Structure 1
Amino acid sequence: MDKKIYIIHENSEWTQHLTKRLDELNLPYEEWHLDQGMVKLDEEPPEGVFYNRMSASSHTRGHRYAPELTASVLAWLERHGRKVFNGTKAISLEVSKVAQYMALQAQGIKTPKTVAAVGKDSILKAAEAFDGQPFITKHNRAGKGLGVQLFYSIKALKEFLEGEEFEESIDGITLIQEYIQAPEPFITRCEFVNGKFLYAVRVDTSEGFQLCPADACQIGDLYCPVGEEAETRPKFEIIEDFHDPIIQQYEEFLRENQIAIAGIEFIRDKNGTIYTYDVNTNTNYNRDAEEKAGKYGMLEIAKFLGAELTK
């Protein structure tokens, strides 16, 4: 059997941009859509290159156990010595921000002060650790910034927890995190392919925290954490000639955790201090921003996978 590139995922809308590039390069590939299925542990996997694009937000598309199935498939592939990109280490970080923060801190990368809690009473108690300062709640396992809310008081949090809008993380763990006040309402997302820096994107946050750059994730009527503010710049904008020492730290972090392809997000406070708060091992790219800059993430991934297939 001829070798192929195998794409492991659960969302065709996010994957079609990659398969289009693979078609352009005339590379053989097969999609493994793992919303359900089985793993025959006593059989050997096919030969080829395997790229995991499983998302932490799969449950929002009705694919509750896709990450668990994917973790099993990745363990099976790695056991048989297959070439896997974004394997078991990557998916363990994809589905847990607690795991992300511990791995980032282990590489000396600063993350916001965070408390993980299970249960409404514990969430309230955790908020007391912020001494009256603004804080954010977020899901430990989410994606696209789902579940992020900003609070200025424990009273407001209590009202939220008792209301109909509160929704637990799919794994039951809610994070209470210090709110980093940026001088301007934007964050920076750094993209990496083959563990190397590709480009950085300026992401406007004035409309809220659902920051997935994929075309399918452009959502209106978002919760606004920073007030009403007119913005004429595009929501996603590639930064020309971005340079910062954090890039070397990110590359070392990716190498240490065996992650080939990722988007890492950070925010700067008023003093210029960088806080890293999210690692996306199932990264997407914004078409408009890329066309304007002439840089294409999925094309670079396709080239990378093609080169690995020929090795």
Structure 2
Amino acid sequence: MPEIALLYEHPAWFAPLFAVLDRRGVDYAAIQAQDHGFDPGVSTPPAPVIFNRIAMSSFLRQADHPIFYAQSLLAHWQASGARVLNGPEVLALDASKARQLSLLSSLGLAIPRTRVVHRAADLPAAAEAIGYPLVVKANIGGSGAGIVRYDDRDALVQAIGDGSVPDSIDRVLLVQAFVPARGGRVTRLETLAGRFLYAIDIDGGGGFDLCPADACLVEPGKASVTITRAEPPAALIDAADRIARAAGLDVGGIEVMIDDADGTPRFYDINALSNFVANPRDVLGWDPHENLVDWLQQVIVEARP
């Protein structure tokens, strides 16, 4: 049996991680979710440690995505005795922006004004409570998918009528105040084992697709994204640590923007899938995959009988 198994969907995102695991001599199994099935009557997991690497954006690449399947699979492996990193509870949180916002607010952190609905017909009433400009978001999104800005009621009503308003694969929608991000930037704070690891500022040029990883940046038609190393204040680092611990997040990114209207940091996204920044040695001066594998090897040792 391998020491660790990695469950993943994207065919290219984890090449840097696999490379470090190979170089370190870690005995691992890479399990692609696409053609996977499991017997709920069999209680032997594929490894004593399982690392969940399922991306919310997988629904963009295949209609028969593994987002909901993986929640059942990871829960089965966990019940079978495996230590599951970013396990089924974290995956469920990752798959709900509404739940993420509730968690952020419960920690006393500012979030964008938001209303959650489950019918497109209820969007105009929710929008009146928020005010324009606003964005409509899919509850399950990824790489900026399912986010559209509307500047007035007429534009929103027309989009509902012609069917162009965003939809979500779970049919849950968010109406959210459009926050003018200071400098056009958002900050992503990466965490490892519940602690701050590094931060980057991302400028998407006004777009919503802010994925900073190698495989994202080379996708055809991808808009230009500017990424720089960030040095967030202690208060934001402390908030990221608290969020990671409250979410049970083993590895993940937390996104925040400074509201240019009043200077308030508004947290809006918790990402359980972090494939780290492209060209990390150029951006950060070091490679976070090395830190990740250091920690994975520690977890492997702890899981040994």
Matches within 5 A, 1:54-203: 54-62=54-62, 64-131=64-131, 133-163=132-162, 165-203=164-202
Does structure 2 conserve the Cα–Cα contact (< 8 Å) formed by 1:39 and 1:72?
no
Residues 47-67 of structure 1 deviation map (CA, whole Å, 9 limit, x = unaligned)? 421111111111111153401
Provide the rounded CA distance (Å) in 2 between the counterparts of 1:143 and 1:7.
20
**Contact 2:33–2:66, Cα closer than 8 Å, also in 1:** yes
Q: Does 1:257 align with 2:247?
A: yes
Aligned equivalent of 1:33 = 32
Shift of 1:90: 0.7
Aligned equivalents of 2:185, 2:221: Cα separation in 1:
18
* 1:20 CA displacement: 1.0
Moved over 4 A (4+): 219-223
Q: Shift of residue 235 of structure 1?
A: 0.8
2:148, 2:165 within 8 Å by CA — same for their partners in 1? Answer: no
Letter in 2 for 1:77: W
| Counterpart check, 1:235 vs 2:234 | no
User: Which residue identity is paired with 1:284?
Assistant: N
Unaligned runs of 5+ in 1: 224-230
The secondary structure found in structure 2 opposite 1:287 is: coil
Partner Cα distance (1:256, 1:279) in 2: 11
| Distance in 1 (alpha carbons) for counterparts of 2:248 and 2:169 | 26
CA–CA distance in 1 between the matches of 2:133 and 2:206? 18
SS in 2 for 1:187: strand
- Shift in alpha-carbon separation, 1:11–1:63, aligned structure 2, 3 A: farther
Distance 2:119 2:63 in 1: 24
1:238–1:289 Cα contact (<8 Å) kept: no
Question: Which residue does the alignment assign to 1:267?
Answer: 257
Cα deviation 1:40-81 (Å, max 9, x = unaligned): 222221442111111111111115340122111211122122
2-structure distance, mates of 1:154, 1:267: 25
Calculate the TM-score normalised by the size of structure 2. Answer: 0.91
**1:245 aligns to what?**
235
TM-score normalized by the length of structure 1: 0.89
Unaligned runs of 5+ in 2: none
Q: How far does the alpha carbon of each residue in 1:120-168 deviate from its partner, in whole angstroms, 9 at most, with x for none?
A: 221122111123x311111100111112122211111122233464341
Q: What secondary structure is seen at the aligned counterpart in 1 of 2:55? A: coil
SS of the residue aligned with 2:205? coil
Change in 2 beyond 3 A, CA 1:302/1:12: farther
Q: What letter matches 2:92 in structure 1?
A: S
Q: 1:226 maps to what in 2?
A: none
Superposed CA RMSD in Å reads 2.0
| Compared CA separation, residues 290 and 105, structure 1 to 2 (3 A) | farther
Given that 2:147 and 2:166 are in contact with CA atoms closer than 8 Å, whether structure 1 keeps it comes out as no
Q: Distance in 2 between matches of 1:164 and 1:290?
A: 44
Q: Which of 288, 292, 310 does residue 301 from structure 2 map onto? A: 310
Q: Note closer, same or farther for the CA distance 1:256–1:120 as it changes in structure 2 (3 Å cut).
A: closer
Identity of aligned residues (%): 27
Contact 1:10 1:63 in 2 (8 A): no
* Cα separation, partners in 2 of 1:146 and 1:290, compared to 1, 3 Å: farther
Q: Secondary structure at the match of 1:272?
A: coil
